[in-house]
Amino acid sequence: MSDRQQQRLAAESVTLAYEQRVIARDLSVEIPDHSFTVIVGPNACGKSTLLRALSRMLKPTQGRVLLDGQSIHSLPAKKVARTLGLLPQSSLAPDGITVADLVARGRYPHQGLLRQWSPEDERIVRESMESTGVAELADRFVDELSGGQRQRVWIAMALAQQTPLLLLDEPTTYLDIQHQIDVLDLCAELHETQGRTLVAVLHDLNHAARYATHLIAVRGGEVVAEGPPSEVVTAELVERVFGVRCQVIDDPETGTPLVVPAGRQARPRRNAAAQEPAQQPALRK
Amino acid sequence: MTTKTLRTGTGLSLRFEPRAALCGLGLILLTLALGTVLVGTGDFPMTPGEVVDTLLGRGTAVQEFAVMELRLPRVLVAILVGGALALGGAVFQSVSRNPLGSPDVIGFGQGATVGALVVIVLFQGSAVATALGAVAGGVVTGAAIYLLAWKRGVHGYRLVLVGIGAAAMLTSVIHYLITKANLVDATRATVWMTGSLDGRDWTQFWPLLAVCCVLVPLVLGHGRALRMLEMGDDAAYALGVKVERTRIVLMASAVLLVAVATSAAGPIVFVSLSAPQLARRLTRAPGPNLAVSAVMGSALLLGADWIAGNAFGDRHLPVGVITGILGGCYLLWLLVSERKAGRL
């Protein structure tokens, strides 16, 4: 093991494959503790595969994933589930389950056959619902909630698991923009106030740049760049990773990098405002 | 929250749905009552009071004989068979996430029947050999369907489709075997195939009890993990469930339960299909409702047996005919309502 300080979660030269199809070879990443790490990359670049490997759902054919210095596949399943949570891309809410009952299922790794529901379980479930803003929905059926509310409930369930590390696989997919921002704000809040390490796969590069404290850009199963978004997100990198020419400007709202892709040809806006000389935004590089 | 918790001072706690617990208790009482009535029914009728007295060892010699030798084992076999079929059904419906993913729809009953018929028709085997043949047939069918439906994990639809295909193929094997048989064997095979509790005695009861004593606690012990599995493999995995192992343990136990129950009483259809769904509608609780389903199966089979014996005058029908009629209607209703809900 290297001399430098070991992060809690890391992949050590892993080769990831589905049956014979190799997705990534000799890939190493470390997830900085207490970061909000976002993995970005084009479709089929291996970002979700990497997240599956980090959450031990995919066993690397070579190399290993380390959790607190130990190979994650050698640890007992429930023990891992007390340290590392995962919000999968799609989960099924059982028919006729209430919000409170679903969130309570997040306590499973802390429970046993004869210790099914402690006062602590009850408190944590209540707190998880409060911090995700679904406490008022506690007795509602999950089937009758909107997509955004449902995603909050699933996040509440993952929170109830009380893991210092939480992985989220495309938590904003299928949500409209209001709920996308809502979910990401919630993640940022959990990261800041509860000090948890968050790792998310996101499709939207601008969301990633805005919310991440640490960005990992993946292409073709390789890590192309990693670091704080302000250093990583440059026009060259976006072109290299996504194959899209673009400008990177300051996000007027947050000051984080904002990617403005160039179309195949410039299409001038047709309304009157476009006639005025456009205010030139500050270019990054 | 509707859930209640029982806690001891030593940190142990049990969580349960009051409604489900009440339903379970009610069904246990119903099963006991039906059992008592059934033990008292027959050519030598007895009042429930007399039945209880006899069970406590205070009956006359004739009563003693009728209860202990003839009727009690039959009722106990019915309770275990009904419970085992329903529990197997609840597991499979939960694993396949589909109410049609039930052992009697996806070919295990037929598999057990083929096993039994092979013994009867091709080897003219004894009753014990027939029972073993049925167990073997059920287990082999279960393994074959699992392997055919397996593709990086078992998925509901594939399991149901493969199973329905297997059931159709096995049914033709059954018909083929009967055409091959001579008249005596064919009659024996047909009687076996109807599913009946007639003439069941302690020799069927003890092996059945032994199997249930091992498998029922095993299945119930995995019930919590099964609840987590209903949220999808990924979610269950994230919660620390050993997904594939849990599923294999549960499916193997369920196949064995169904096979052993079938070997004891013949293929009694539709208990596996309907008991878990009835339990679910009664308790209104999400999840597999394993324990309530099992008791529901016992009560259902006893009720069907009483109807078979008493509702048609002097004619005593095999119980399989009644469960077939009741279950057939239920299956139709299920197909229609699933279709309306867009799940089929």
| A130-171 pLDDT, tens digit each | 988 899 999 999 988 988 899 999 999 999 999 999 999 999
CA-based max dimension of chain B: 68
- List CB contacts (< 8 A) between B5 and chain A: 116-117
Give me A202's structure tokens.
């996101």
Q: Given an 8 Å threshold on Cβ–Cβ distance, is A94 in contact with B231? A: yes
A161 to chain B, any CB pair closer than 8 A? The answer is yes
Which of the pair, A92 or A227, is modelled with greater confidence?
Answer: A227
Contact A175, A183 (CB under 8 A): yes
Q: Nearest C-alpha of chain A: how many angstroms from B338?
A: 13
What's the token pair of residue B3?
């859930």
pLDDT of residue B287: 77
Question: Taking CB atoms and an 8 Å cutoff, what residues of chain B touch A95?
Answer: 286
In B, which residues are within 8 Å of A78 by CB distance? 240
Asked if pLDDT for residue B99 goes beyond 90, the answer is no
Given this model, what pLDDT does residue A3 score? 41
Contact between B240 and A82 using a beta-carbon 8 Å cutoff: yes
Among B203, B210, B194, B266, smallest CA distance to B74 is for: B203
User: Is a pLDDT exceeding 70 seen at residue A266?
Assistant: no
Determine whether the interchain pair B238/A101 forms a contact, defined as Cβ–Cβ distance below 8 Å.
Answer: no
Tell me if A104 and B3 make a contact (CB, 8 A cut-off).
yes
Chain B nearest-CA residue for A95: B286
Question: Which range is least confidently modeled, A49-53, A123-127, B98-102, B250-254?
Answer: B98-102
Residue B222 in this model has a pLDDT that exceeds 70: yes
pLDDT above 90 (res B190): no
Q: Give the other-Cβ count within 10 Å of B153's Cβ.
A: 11
Which residues of chain B make contact with A86, given a CB cutoff of 8 A? 234, 237-238
CB-based contact A92 B2, cutoff 8 Å? no
- Taking the C-alpha atoms of residue B332 and residue B280, their distance in angstroms, rounded to an integer, is 18
d(CA B65, CA B258): 31
- B179 contact A CB<8A: no
Q: Kindly state whether B224 is in contact with chain A, defined as any CB-CB distance less than 8 angstroms.
A: yes
pTM for the predicted model, two decimal places = 0.87
The pLDDT tens digits of the residues spanning A179-203 come to 899 899 999 998 998 889 999 999 8
Mark yes or no for CB contact A87/B238 under 8 Å: yes
The rounded distance, in Å, linking the Cα atoms of A208 and A39 is 8
Handedness of CA A145, B19, B212, B200 (dihedral sign): negative
- Interchain proximity A81–B240, CB inside 8 Å: yes
Highest mean pLDDT among A140-144, B78-82, B201-205: B78-82
Question: How many contacts does A have with B, using Cβ atoms within 8 A?
Answer: 98
| Residues A200/A207, Cβ–Cβ less than 8 Å | no
For residue B342, the model assigns a pLDDT of 63
Q: Quick check: B337 pLDDT over 80?
A: no
Say whether A30 sits in a helix, a strand or coil: strand
Q: How confident is the model at residue B138 (pLDDT cuts 50, 70, 90)?
A: very high
pLDDT of residue B152: 64
Q: Which residues of A touch B238 (CB under 8 A)?
A: 55, 57, 81, 85-88, 158, 161
Quote the CA–CA distance of B237 and A95 in Å, as a whole number: 20
**B103 close to B134: Cβ distance less than 8 angstroms:** no
Q: How far apart are CA B266 and CA B112, in angstroms?
A: 8
Reply yes or no on whether the pLDDT at A283 is more than 50.
Answer: yes
Residues in chain B closer than 8 A to A85 (CB atoms): 238
Q: How far is CA A182 from the centre of its chain?
A: 14
- Neighbour count for residue B18 (Cβ, 10 Å): 10
Inter-chain touch B238–A114, beta carbons under 8 Å: no
B37: left (phi over 0), alpha (psi -120 to 50) or beta: alpha
Give the pLDDT score at B115.
Answer: 94
Mean pLDDT of B164-172: 93
Q: Name which of A115, A140, A153 to mutate to probe chain B: the one with the most chain B Cβ atoms within 10 A of its Cβ.
A: A115
Mean pLDDT for B168-178 is 93
Rounded CA-CA distance A266/A260 in Å is 12
pLDDT at residue B245 greater than cutoff 50: yes
CA distances for A158 relative to A71, A79, B63, angstroms: 23, 15, 61
pLDDT more than 90, % of chain B: 43
Closest chain B CA to residue A106: B239
E strand or H helix that includes residue A131: helix A119-131
Q: ipTM of the predicted structure?
A: 0.83
Helix (H) or strand (E) run with residue A199 in it: strand A197-201
Distances (CA, A) of A273 to A130, A269, A277: 45, 8, 9
- The 3-class secondary structure across chain B, one letter per residue, is CCCEEEECCCCCEEEECHHHHHHHHHHHHHHHHHHHHHHHCCCCCCCHHHHHHHHCCCCCHHHHHHHHHHHHHHHHHHHHHHHHHHHHHHHHHHHCCCCCCCCCCCCHHHHHHHHHHHHHHHHCCCHHHHHHHHHHHHHHHHHHHHHHHECCCECHHHHHHHHHHHHHHHHHHHHHHHHHCCHHHHHHHHHHHHCCCCCCCHHHHHHHHHHHHHHHHHHHHCHHHHHHHCCCHHHHHHCCCCHHHHHHHHHHHHHHHHHHHHHHHCCCCCHHHHHHHHHHHHHCCCCCCHHHHHHHHHHHHHHHHHHHHHCCCCCCCCHHHHHHHHHHHHHHHHHHHHHHCCCC
The pLDDT tens digits of the residues spanning A30-41 come to: 999 999 999 999
For residue range B247-299, what is the model confidence (pLDDT) as tens digits? Answer: 999 999 999 999 999 999 888 888 998 899 889 888 888 778 899 999 999 99
Tell me which chain B residues have a C-beta less than 8 angstroms from the C-beta of A92.
97, 230-232, 235
pLDDT score, position B33: 95
Residue A104's CB: how many other CB atoms inside 10 A?
25
pLDDT per position as a tens digit, B287-335: 788 999 999 999 999 999 998 888 877 777 888 888 888 888 887 887 7
> Which of the residue ranges A44-53, A60-69, B193-202, B210-219 would you say has the lowest mean pLDDT?
B193-202
Q: Residue A91 and residue B3: Cβ atoms within 8 Å?
A: no
Q: Count the Cβ atoms, other than its own, within 10 Å of residue B161.
A: 15
Pairing of strands A62-67, A70-71: antiparallel
Decide if B186 contacts B120 (C-beta within 8 A): no
DSSP string, A62-110: EEEEEETTEEGGGS-HHHHHHHEEEE-S---PPTT-BHHHHHHGGGGGG
Per-residue model confidence as pLDDT tens digits over A55-113: 998 999 999 999 999 999 999 999 999 999 999 988 888 888 899 999 999 999 998 87
d(CA B30, CA B296): 9
Check residue B286 and give its pLDDT.
79
Give the separation between CA B285 and CA B17, rounded to whole angstroms: 8
pLDDT in tens, B310-320: 887 777 788 88
Chain A residue with CA closest to B221: the answer is A113
B288, closest residue in chain A (CA to CA): A94
Looking at residue B205, its pLDDT comes to 92
Q: What residues contact residue A108 under an 8 Å CB cut-off, 6+ apart?
A: A81, A161, B224, B228, B239, B240, B241
DSSP label at residue A283: B
B231 touches chain A (CB under 8 A): yes
Length of chain B: 344
Cα–Cα distance between B159 and B99 in angstroms, integer?
Answer: 12
Residue in A with minimal Cα distance to B11? A115
Q: Read off φ and ψ for residue B293, nearest 5 degrees.
A: -60, -45
Tell me: pLDDT of B123 over 60. Answer: yes
What's the token pair of residue B299?
A: 């009560």
